[in-house]
Amino acid sequence: MTGSPYAPHTEAETRAMLDAVGVDDEEALFDIPDAVAFDGDLDIPARDERAVREEMAATLERNDDVVEFLGRGHHDHYVPAAVEDLAGRSEFLTSYTQYQPEVTQGFLQALFEYQSMLVELTGLSVANCSMYDAATALGEAALLADRVRDADGDRVLVPEHLQSGRRATLERYVAGADLAVEAYPMDDGCADLDALESAVGEDVVMIYAENPTVRGVIEERPAAVGDLAHDADALFCLGSDPVALALLREPAAVGADVVVGEADALGLPVSYGTGLGLFACREAYLRQIPGRLVGASTDAADRRAFTLTLQTREQHIRKERATSNICTNQAWVALRTAMHVAALGPDGLVELAERCVREAAGLAERLDAVSGIEAPVHDRHHFREFVLGSDRPAPALADDLLAEGFAVHAIDEHRLQACVTETNADRVEDLVAAVEVVA
Amino acid sequence: MTDYDQARWSREDDPVYESLLAEKRSTTVEVEGGPLPDDLTRESVTLPDPAEPELARHYTRLSEMNYGVESGPYPLGSCTMKYNPAFSEDVAADPNGLVHPDRPDDTIQGILELAYGLQRDLARIGGMDAVTLQPPAGAAGEFTGISIAQAYHEARGEDRSEVIVPASAHGTNFASAVMAGYDVVELPSADDGRLDLDALEAAVGDETAALMLTNPNTLGLFEREVTAAADLVHDAGGLLYYDGANLNALLGRARPGDMGFDVMHYNVHKTFGTPHGGGGPGAGPVGVVDDLAPYLPTPHVRETESGTYETYEPERSIGKVHGFAGNWLVLVKTYAYVARLGEEGLRDASAKAVLNANYLAEQIDFEVPYRPFHHEFAATAGDRDAADVAKRMLDYGVHPPTTKWPELVPEAMLTEPTEIESRETLDDLARAFNAAAADSDEELEAAPTRTAARRIDQASAARNPRLSWQALDDE
């Protein structure tokens, strides 16, 4: 093998092209000073396609075969074959951002439909066509809050129970704006409203809550959190996902100004954290929203057509005054998520959401009956997942379960967390049997 | 010349193209009597409700009204629209690799071994000492890299407030530096389109945290004074950041680390052939020199003495720039591409990319003011409107170049054919450029006519934003 397998040039063509350009060889086209030219060896051998596939398959086989009861911000739902098949069409997969809308109507319409689905699910009037993941969407929400709030402030309040990656990413995002992230306490898994009330002040720019929380708890009084935010002239940002949103009260109805979340709960299988950041907000913030927006317009034939719009917010036009640095986003994942929502339809989506409640309650009840286990720890309604207490140290118990072939989270010394959806519900019996052995 | 008509679905009695899903079939479902008390649930949800055959037809039609690299040439400058190897999709879909990110290290040795291998290969390609795979896009890589530079200065007790960015840089450079809390000092280009060393010398000082450079720059020119620039910045205590958007020009021939760069990002969806997906997901791994390695995001992957792999938090980590480990599925495809090409293939990709750009530039009737360029060139449409020329090129069956940028070139058409095009396709592309050049202003303004939609009214879309089907219903 001597060259790129994806460059079609024959030697004769290369020669003819070099002649047309007027140089003897390709090296003559490079204007690289000797002082910085690389003449070493990268030590990366080329392999043929079959060899690469076999090598990578063999490497991935070194992952243990484990039944996952894991959630905490990355969830598994069954992705219909039609989604995989249609999203894989190369006109979608191999296209670029729609800077020439006339020739990319298909993707633009699909993204417009994605935005519309999120508008329906959140009740808010604007959704962008993607951020990287929930964590970066949360970071962007805090920066939006900082931009739109009239009065100065420098505090962002977040729940004590928050996925660590989400918290760390938020802190990194807001460091440049000199905002400080503070946790407010939880009361049996829900926001502690009294504590939150005493934490809120004029210097708070945003309060964040999740529904469901990272522990799977359904927040009982999200509107009260929103009221506390609005009393302080702070933004109320709510975290959720498209499955939960099909069942829970619309964020707009509980006062949310911004909704963020992991929209890839639909559309992608578990994929070591590959995400899709949901971002929706009230219309008032339209000119300050980060990320790309697809809008409807008309074309020269007077027909409805779609285009990227309000681009003067974006980095390629506004540079240092852009609302965000985001350029490449998660468009193809958004396409998949929209396809998955459409494949389920409203009946299928609500049914799936209700199943997330029932399966979690069912598993908790089964585990609670095991000696040495208390489940759920929080006396609340749950979605997909819940925290369980164990008499034995939780890390040791999780290790023993792993030896039996099951993965659950150990979240502290005496608490574990388990997540159940339609993809692992058929292994609940086996999990309970294993817990009975090791608890 | 290619004779081309894009698929277009329309009906005589309805002024739309393909109807929206919601217009085809939509259902309202009452949410009641479920497992939750009513005060926690919504009342109803209204969503599209297609049967699977309808779903398949809807998205197949939409795909036919879209244009990808597999449809035809896609010479968008600065975007590096390469062929995306089919087999890499299969590798990314391997069920053994579809795991949850919270799995203990010893149960996902396969994932960690691939991650480690990719960190190592990217470090070699960039001449860097350590690489994080976490940033989910190029701009996220910039933000990560500048944050690392910031943490490095802070750890040395230095509070620097400025990042220097050439005027010709990608817009993300400015926005990323501001996001990290810096003031941007914009550097005008020299007359030859390159970095102006005198201007740099004047701009550099105690406040300089970093200089961000693209090399070759956005005109495709190699910054020949890069080591002098590095010395100026380093002497002032600043760091040098490499924007990897144009790395496809240099693979195996020059490495940012050898040019004096301290920190860089790679755009794997450009340089390493992972699909652009209509705007993402990509990935923007960041490479650093040894001094900056302690600041990399957490978790990072390393090899243990016993030959296994583990994640750990670097000593002075900047924390996280993604909730988990970034766009992992894209990184798997990157690994596959790098392994498939190897060093020789990567070197050849650059050679053919640069040859293709030079050959194409020779064939077109538009002037290319700045030379010698590498993998891309900025032609000027002269007294024509570059955006109109681009619209007309759509009618000739090709995707046009990036237009009106960089601003240094009037009516710029930034063109990057990449290595994947044959001489024949380049000739086709040239014919499209030249036919558009020969067409009248009226023909240009009336274009495109052969795409799914005709020329779209951008101004009214922005003046009266309608961003959802609900907004259309409200009218």
Q: Where are the domains of chain B?
A: 86-340
* Chain A to chain B Cβ contacts (< 8 Å): 666
Is-cis flag, bond preceding A376, omega within 30?
Answer: yes
Look up the pTM and report it. 0.98
Tell me which residues of chain A, numbers 272 to 291, contact chain B at a CB-CB cutoff of 8 Å.
272-275, 286
Determine the distance from the C-alpha atom of residue B330 to the mean position of all C-alpha atoms in its chain, rounded to a whole number. Answer: 13
Q: Are residues A380 and A298 in the same domain?
A: no
A81 touches chain B (CB under 8 A): no
Annotate B287-348 with DSSP letters as a single string: EE-GGGGGGS-SSEEEE-TTS-EEEE--TT----SSSSSS-HHHHHHHHHHHHHHHHHHHHH
Q: How many angstroms separate the CA atoms of A52 and A40, rounded?
A: 24
Cross-chain CB nearest to B68 (options A7, A31, A93): A93
Minimum distance, in Å, between the CA of residue B342 and any CA atom of chain A: 4
| Model pLDDT, residue B455 | 98
Residue of chain B whose Cα is closest to the Cα of A222: B40
Q: Are residues A74 and A125 in the same domain?
A: no
What φ, ψ does residue B378 adopt, rounded to 5°? -105, 100
Q: How many angstroms separate the CA atoms of B328 and B135, rounded?
A: 10
CATH number at residue A284: 3.40.640.10
Q: Considering the domain boundaries, does residue A45 fall inside one?
A: no
Minimum distance, in Å, between the CA of residue B10 and any CA atom of chain A: 9
Residues of chain B with pLDDT under 50: none
Q: Are residues A109 and A151 in the same domain?
A: yes
Cross-chain CB nearest to B343 (options A7, A44, A103): A44
Fold assignment, B86-340: Aspartate Aminotransferase; domain 2 (3.40.640)
B53 touches chain A (CB under 8 A): no
Say how many domains are in chain A: 2
Residues of the domain holding A370? 67-78+345-438
Give the pLDDT confidence of A404-432 residue by residue, as tens digits: 999 999 999 999 999 999 999 999 999 99
Minimum distance, in Å, between the CA of residue B384 and any CA atom of chain A: 18
Is there a contact between B340 and A295 if contact means CB atoms under 8 Å apart?
no
> Residue B97 is inside which H or E element, if any?
none
Q: Are residues A314 and A231 in the same domain?
A: yes
B228 touches chain A (CB under 8 A): no
Q: Considering the domain boundaries, does residue A55 fall inside one?
A: no
Q: What is the mean pLDDT of residues A334-346?
A: 98
Contacts A47 to B, Cβ<8 Å: 339-340, 342
Contacts A125 to B, Cβ<8 Å: 467-468, 470-471
CATH number at residue A419: 3.90.1150.10
Q: Are residues A334 and A289 in the same domain?
A: yes
| Model pLDDT, residue B475 | 65
Minimum distance, in Å, between the CA of residue A224 and any CA atom of chain B: 13
Q: Are residues A299 and A356 in the same domain?
A: no
Minimum distance, in Å, between the CA of residue B34 and any CA atom of chain A: 7
Q: Are residues A271 and A376 in the same domain?
A: no
Confidence band for A126, pLDDT divided at 50, 70 and 90:
very high
* Nearest partner of B221 among B418, B354, B400, judged by Cα: B354
Is there a contact between A329 and B281 if contact means CB atoms under 8 Å apart?
yes
Annotate B375-393 with DSSP letters as a single string: S-EEEE-TTS-HHHHHHHH
Determine the distance from the C-alpha atom of residue A191 to the mean position of all C-alpha atoms in its chain, rounded to a whole number. Answer: 22
Is there a contact between A43 and B421 if contact means CB atoms under 8 Å apart?
no
Is there a contact between A319 and B127 if contact means CB atoms under 8 Å apart?
no
Tell me which residues of chain B, numbers 307 to 346, contact chain A at a CB-CB cutoff of 8 Å.
318-330, 332, 335-336, 338-346
Q: How many angstroms separate the CA atoms of B395 and A76, rounded?
A: 44
Return all residues near A34 (Cβ < 8 A) that are at least 6 apart: none
Cross-chain CB nearest to A38 (options B45, B253, B342): B253
Q: How many angstroms separate the CA atoms of A322 and A292, rounded?
A: 12
ipTM of the complex: 0.98
Is there a contact between A307 and B461 if contact means CB atoms under 8 Å apart?
yes
Q: What is the mean pLDDT of residues A100-107?
A: 98
* Nearest partner of A144 among A326, A323, A276, judged by Cα: A323
Confidence band for A1, pLDDT divided at 50, 70 and 90:
very low
Q: Considering the domain boundaries, does residue A35 fall inside one?
A: no
Distance from first CA to last CA of chain A, Å, rounded?
Answer: 57
Q: Are residues A303 and A234 in the same domain?
A: yes
Q: Are residues A114 and A259 in the same domain?
A: yes
Q: Are residues A276 and A315 in the same domain?
A: yes
